[in-house]
Structure 1
Amino acid sequence: MKYKQLGKSDLNISEVSFGCMSLQGDEEESIKMLHQALDKGINFFDTADLYDKGQNESVVGRAFKGMREKVVLATKVGNQWRPDGSGWDWNPSKAYILQAVEESLKRLQTDYIDLYQLHGGTIDDPIDETIEAFEQLKEQGKIRHYGISSIRPNVIREYVSRSNIASVMLQYSLLDRRPEEEVLELLQQHQIGVLARGSMAQGLLADKPAKSYLTYTLEEVQQAAEAVKVVAGKTRRASETAVRFVLHHPSVTSAVLGIRTEQQLEDALLAAQAEPLTDAEVRQLQEVLAAGKYEQHR
């Protein structure tokens, strides 16, 4: 497993990491998988207080109790469950973040979070107040670093210019190259790590039946999937090639893969071991479809 420094932080994380959102069902099986991932070199585990109303954090906390120093734990904040459980509301206020972190720390059974991320964000948020909350938590030692999870260029620009974020989590794949227009270069210039999710585009780049995706038609998705297979050849699988495409971009620190089954864990580990793509192979993939652009929140 290869490890990379996340932005300017002191966190060194595995190039392929474990997205815990997909974990569900038998808790003991989930914990077993988390342990297997750690044993095989994955050290970065990403969850959120939103997932399964906090139960996801609790499973991760149970899994790594007694081995805290071996893992890099990331979680997210900003979506507040309604008391009746009917849904959640966006709340990036300082008061809520300071309250929510205490609950996340309890569920994760730790006294610090390595990376605390704002789980979304809009340009109308009280951004300075949100940043104040994260900075206060850093000073208190309750979090080591903070970042945001967002695909909105206008929000990302504000945090780049006004805060000390270590990372941005965003969706990026051969079928979603919108970040290439300006976001990835901006983050690279400022030494802010990119955590890429959705690198297989809901499995469409890894042998799932084609369907339309974002602005791409079913036929265009088929073209992209076929190109991935061609580049994969006999040395890589399609899923490995899709992940390697994302990791080829110098701004990307880690591909965060949603893992629910042992097979998905095996696929993630194979992607980590796969041969990197050459520049020529990346160009070959990029030439198949025109890159999209963000239409909103510019």
Structure 2
Amino acid sequence: MNCRKLGKSDMEISEISFGCMSLENNFQSAKKLIHKAIDLGVNFFDTADLYNKGQNEVLVGEALKGYRDKVILATKVGNEWRDNGSGWDWNPSKDYILKSVDQSLQRMQTDYIDLYQLHGGTMDDPIDETIEAFEILQQQGKIRFYGISSIRPNVIREYVKRSNIVSVMMQYSLLDRRPEEECLKLLQKNNIGVLARGVLAKGLLAGKTSSKYLDYTKAEVEETIQAVKEISEESKPICQTSIQYVLKHSAISSAVIGVRTEKQVEECFFESNQAELLDMDRTLLQNSNKALVYANHR
């Protein structure tokens, strides 16, 4: 598995990484998938305190016992579950972040978090207060680095200007090229790594039955999928071509893939160091649809 440096941090992360949100709440099953991914060279695992009310962190922490010094562990904060369990509220306050980190550390059975990410963000947030919380945690040694998970260009620009983030996690795929013009160039210029999620567009770019996606009609999605199939070799799953499209952009540090089965682990994580996508193939893929822009989420 090839590795790439995450922004201006000193962390070398696998170019395909494990998004843990998709894991079923079954320890033996989760452990098997995580260990298989490690065997294939994956070293970056991403979770969040929001997932399954913190139980995903418990699952991941338990599965990574004995591997902690060999992996890079990321989690997120900012969504506070209501006491009655009916849902969650956005809370990027300093007090909440400083309290939540200790709970995440306990659930994952670790002394430090490699990458702590704000799980969202709006222009109405107390951004300087939020940044202060992450800086304090970094000074305390509870986290090594921090970043944000956001698709809001205006929010991303503020954190680029005002903070020491090393990464931004955002949705990016052949069926969601919105970041290409507005975000990726800015982040690359400032040496901030991009963690791409949604790379397979809810499975559409991995063989799932076609359907409407974002502002693309079903017919438009099918055109893009056909282009992916034509470029993929017969023996290669189309998910690998879809992943290589994202990795072709030099701003991307890693494609974060959520998997549920051993077959998906093998198809998505195996042989990531195959020959990268040719420039002409990337152009053909881009010509298979019209690039969208951010209309909402400002």
Alignment of 1:182-197 (within 5 A): 182-197=182-197
Normalization by structure 1: what TM-score?
0.98
Which whole-Å CA distance do the structure 1 matches of 2:270 and 2:6 have between them?
Answer: 22
- 2: CA distance, partners of 1:294 / 1:107: 36
Residue aligned with 1:181, SS: helix
Tell which deviates more after alignment, 204-213 or 179-188. 204-213
66 and 236 in structure 1: CA distance in 2 versus 1, 3 angstrom threshold: closer
Match of 1:178 in 2: 178
User: For residues 173 and 67 of structure 2, what CA distance do their matches in structure 1 show?
Assistant: 33
Q: CA deviation at 1:235?
A: 5.9
Letter in 2 for 1:34: I
Q: CA deviation at 1:25?
A: 3.7
Q: Distance in 1 between matches of 2:260 and 2:100?
A: 26
Residues in 1 aligned to 2:232 and 2:198: alpha-carbon distance in whole angstroms: 19
Greater mean deviation of Cα atoms: 232-241 or 185-194: 232-241
- Kindly indicate whether the alpha-carbon contact (under 8 Å) linking 1:243 and 1:271 is maintained by their aligned counterparts in 2: no
CA-CA distance at 1:23 after TM superposition: 0.6
Q: What does residue 250 of structure 1 align with?
A: 250
The structural deviation recorded for 1:236 is 3.2
Give the drift of 1:80: 0.3
Counterpart of 2:136 in structure 1 is 136
Deviates more, 1:147-156 or 1:30-39: 30-39
In structure 2, give the amino acid aligned to 1:45.
F
Partner of 1:116: 116
Q: CA deviation at 1:233?
A: 3.2
Q: Within 5 A, what are the aligned runs for 1:129-278?
A: 129-234=129-234, 236-270=236-270, 272-278=272-278
Identity rate of aligned residues, in percent?
61
- TM-fit CA distance, 1:33: 1.5
Question: Deviation of residue 210 (structure 1)?
Answer: 0.8
Q: State the distance in 2 between where 1:209 and 1:34 align.
A: 27
Superimposed CA distance per residue, residues 77-130 of structure 1 (whole angstroms, 9 cap, x where no aligned partner): 000000111100000000000000000000110110000000000010000000
Determine the structure 2 residue equivalent to 1:296.
296
Shift of 1:271: 5.8
Contact 1:193 1:252 in 2 (8 A): yes
Q: Could you tell me how far 1:154 is from its partner in structure 2? A: 0.4
- 2:24 pairs with 1:39: no
Deviation at residue 273 of structure 1 after TM alignment: 3.8
Q: 1:232 to 1:155 in 2, by over 3 A?
A: same
In the other structure, the counterpart of 2:282 is 282
Q: C-alpha distance in 2, partners of 1:240/1:109?
A: 33
Q: 2:59 maps to which residue?
A: 59
Once the 2 structures are TM-superposed, how far is the Cα of residue 26 of structure 1 from its aligned partner? 2.2
Q: TM-score, normalised by structure 2?
A: 0.98
Alignment size in residue pairs: 298
Letter in 1 for 2:139: E
Deviations 1:222-275 (A, max 9, x none): 000000001113363211100000000000010000011111111122362432
SS in 1 for 2:147: strand
Amino acid of the structure 1 residue aligned with 2:17: S
In structure 2, C-alpha distance between the alignment counterparts of 1:76 and 1:207, rounded to whole Å: 29
Provide the residue aligned with 1:105 in structure 2: 105
Counterpart for residue 5 of structure 2: 5
| Alpha-carbon distance in 1 for matches of 2:65, 2:225 | 41
Worse-superposed segment, 243-252 or 197-206: 197-206
Contact 1:172 1:178 in 2 (8 A): yes
Residue type matched to 1:70 in 2? K
RMSD: 1.1
Moved more, 262-271 or 108-117: 262-271
Residue segments in structure 1 that go unaligned for 5+ positions in a row: none
